[in-house]
Amino acid sequence: MTTEHAHLEPAPEAADREFFLGHAELSLFDKCRNYTRAREVKELGLYPYFLPISESHTTEVDLGGRRLVMVGSNNYLGLTQDPRVVEAAVEATRRFGSGCTGSRFLNGTLELHEQLEARLAAFMKREAVLTFSTGFQTNQGVISTLVGKNDVMYCDRENHASIFEGCRLSYGQLRKFRHNDMEDLERLLRMNDRDHGKIILVDGVFSMSGEIVDLPRVTQLAKEFGAAVMVDDAHAIGVLGEHGRGTGEHYGLEDEVDLIVGTFSKSFGALGGFIAGTEDVIHYIKHHARALIFSASITPACAASVLAALTIIENEPERRHRLWEIVRKMKAGFDSMGFKTLNSQSPVLPVLAGDDMTTFALWKHLIDHGVYTNPVIAPAVPRGHGLIRTSYIATHTDEQLDRVLEAFEVSGKELGLI
């Protein structure tokens, strides 16, 4: 090869590099090419995910040209389309625009954010609150910021994925205990008697089963072993407690919980999350949490929506009372038909279906009968214990609820489940 043409062919080492990179690419994407399960379910007409809703009417949605009763939403108090909440979002958008185009750390802090944090701190009876862009980022950011390499995290096996993600990003040791099993938690706490930081991480209401955490025993063990307690109350705030402050208020143990996580995408009907605690802890998180510092802040519309929703939650307890009437009605209905609703104690009512295909089939039957639900399979639940997750809204009518029960009864009989 002449010097003038040398650039036309790669040197041997360059060719080798290209060869190996090509193989690395094949190896990297093999799992994508080999993933066929979702396409197989689609071909059977049972694919239940990423369905585009064309219009929402709070308790009903338009899907594929049909109107369905929505019992798959976390809009517990029915505030997503409350005129006061919507108008607050519109007015904030007119005043501040559609977004903040920056993080809270720099140009993304509005007066609305600080007003919201002050209002939430007063509502939650905490010294301080810090808002994050999503509930997922709240858990991720708080845990990874607070837990160091010499610390230990004790985590319920059925906690939300965002808690586990925060644990993965921290440098601490993770100890998982059996779901709501306080003897197992105590066993793990006794195994670690070194002088290091400890934190017990639990959901207040577990998002798949609807169970409420055994907070009295959690806080008792925390005192005994010198551990902090953080409760993710995403599905409890607005729902549990006399004033809707969540699991701590429900048990009368608010002062025993060190940190409370909340989200705006459930009872508040918007998007975002927050952490509530002492001023010094919140101040530290504010200046160290990468999930906060390197993410754009919640939009003006979201902040204003949550402020309006919070006012409604404080002033209209009848919404919460109605929600619990609905829960009692639906649980009694499912139980009388012979469905298993596990140990739910909340507006999340799971209906046990079985294996994956039975779960998808029940979901499809319900869709065909005008009811929107959420099918849940492994790994979100144990394999072979798929379920239909139903959840309820304070503004559901009795007529809508009766339609849901009728659809479950017909579908359950058609599939031989009851």
What are the residues whose beta carbons fall under 8 Å from the beta carbon of 416, sequence distance 6 or more?
A: none
Per DSSP, 103 falls in state B
Taking the C-alpha atoms of residue 357 and residue 377, their distance in angstroms, rounded to an integer, is: 9
Catalytic annotation present for 235: yes
Active site residue 336: no
Pairwise CA distance, residues 405 & 27, whole Å: 49
Residue 339's CB is within 10 A of a number of other CB atoms, namely: 21
- What span, in angstroms and rounded, lies between the C-alpha atoms of 208 and 163? 15
- Residue whose tokens read 């919460």: 320
Name which of 325, 329, 339, 307 is nearest 403 in CA terms: 329
Choose, from 170, 207, 305, 411, the residue flagged as catalytic: 207
Cα dist from 62 to 51, 65, 382, whole Å: 11, 6, 32
Query: Is 266 part of the annotated catalytic residue set?
Result: yes
Closest CA to 222 of 198, 246, 206: 198
The encoded tokens of residue 363 equal 């979901």
Please tell me the distance from the alpha carbon of residue 18 to that of residue 16, in angstroms, as a whole number. Answer: 5
Q: Which of 139, 96, 140 is nearest to 305 (CA)?
A: 96
Pairing, β 60-63 against β 66-70: antiparallel
Catalytic residue among 266, 364, 365, 369: 266
Residue among 300, 307, 271 nearest 98 (CA): 300
Q: What share of the chain is helix, strand, coil (3-state, %, to 5)?
A: 45, 15, 35
Structure token digits, residue 280: 């010094």
CA distance 119 to 95: 20
Q: One-letter amino acid identity for 192?
A: N
Residue that is written with structure tokens 């208020």 in the block? 249
Which position among 235, 364, 365, 385 bears the catalytic label? 235
Catalytic residues: 207, 235, 266
